[in-house]
Amino acid sequence: MRLRLSSTGLHAQNITLEDGSAAVDVAYINQQQVHRVRAKQAVMAGYNMMIPYMVPEVSEAQKEALLQNVKAPLVYSNVVIRNWQTFMKLGVHNIYCPTAPYCMVKLDFPVNMGGYEHPDSPDKPVVLHMVYVPNLAGSALPSREQSRKGRSMLLGMSFAEHEKIIREQLQDMLGGVGFNHEEDIIAITLNRWSHGYSYSVNTLFDDEDEAEAIITTARQPIGNITIANSDSDWSPYAHSAIEQGIRAVDELIAMQAGGAQ
């Protein structure tokens, strides 16, 4: 096996060799040079929505199905606060806020690791883990459209705007029990993903049987190219990534066993 790091796949294509056997040609770019590699079979394991552009031979129906996986943008913010007495007063460690920008605000997991020890007293500073899915909640737009618009909104947001949202939300939530954002927030780190979570079935917007049919169409093998990634199960979790990787390789093995070249 040869790993090609810092290489971006551009194009994959089923071909027939002179002796009649089948192969897959993959073009990739590394350090501004385009290369081509040939294999008997290939697995596309990246963002599934890109496959129609990278494997243009895919059928129109499958293209349409693949394009339905519109990832959601995601922001994880870590906010260090001076102490967590406010959480003690409220008697909570995890606050779910469905109508606020940050839908979840929680005390970070109490982990000791490599010399780092989690704060064991509410008088000590602690990290708050805050999750924000920038969409247009309440807009009545379809879920995919909300993700697209949210992504463009996120790309245009400055750190100052993010900071303002965080300060206002924490002040609104915790001000009643003595929190003062000007004194109590020590540091903020923002982690932003324009394409965060895979699309997943949302019964507010999707018919479950129809969604299942789209998923099945989207991950059909294209000749000797199979499709992995958690996207291929419309599930944004690591176990799906593993299961779908196994499925995609099993499909290749079945093709070989079935006599495909």
The binding site for ligand FAD (CB under 6 A) comprises: 8-9, 45-47, 74, 76, 193, 196, 229-230, 236-238, 241
**Burial zone of 96 (CB within 10 Å; 0-12 exposed, 13-18 middle, 19+ buried):** exposed
Which tokens go with 142? 């379809």
**Whole-angstrom distance, CA of residue 177 vs CA of residue 90:** 8
> Minimum distance from CB of 250 to ligand FAD (Å)?
16
Which has the closest alpha carbon to 26: 6, 41, 16? 41
SS3 content of the chain, % helix, strand, coil (to 5): 35, 30, 35
**Distance of CA 114 to CAs 55, 111, 120, 187, Å?**
45, 10, 16, 22
Integer distance in angstroms from the first to the last C-alpha of the chain?
A: 20
Task: Name which of 127 and 174 has its Cβ closer to ligand FAD.
Answer: 127
Task: Name which of 8 and 59 has its Cβ closer to ligand FAD.
Answer: 8
Residues 6 or more apart from 43 whose CB is under 8 A from it?
225, 226, 227, 228, 245, 248, 249, 252
> Minimum distance from CB of 93 to ligand FAD (Å)?
17
Query: For ligand FAD, which residue has the nearest CB?
Result: 46
State the DSSP H helix or E strand holding residue 192, giving kind and residue range, or none if neither: strand 185-197
Residue 46 half-sphere exposure toward CB, CA atoms < 13 A? 15
> Minimum distance from CB of 129 to ligand FAD (Å)?
11
> Minimum distance from CB of 6 to ligand FAD (Å)?
9
> Minimum distance from CB of 35 to ligand FAD (Å)?
12
> Minimum distance from CB of 222 to ligand FAD (Å)?
16
Q: Give the three-class secondary structure for 106.
A: strand
Task: Name which of 124 and 239 has its Cβ closer to ligand FAD.
Answer: 239
Task: Name which of 79 and 174 has its Cβ closer to ligand FAD.
Answer: 79
> Minimum distance from CB of 104 to ligand FAD (Å)?
12
Task: Name which of 7 and 261 has its Cβ closer to ligand FAD.
Answer: 7
Task: Name which of 46 and 101 has its Cβ closer to ligand FAD.
Answer: 46
Task: Name which of 150 and 196 has its Cβ closer to ligand FAD.
Answer: 196
**Whole-angstrom distance, CA of residue 26 vs CA of residue 9:** 7
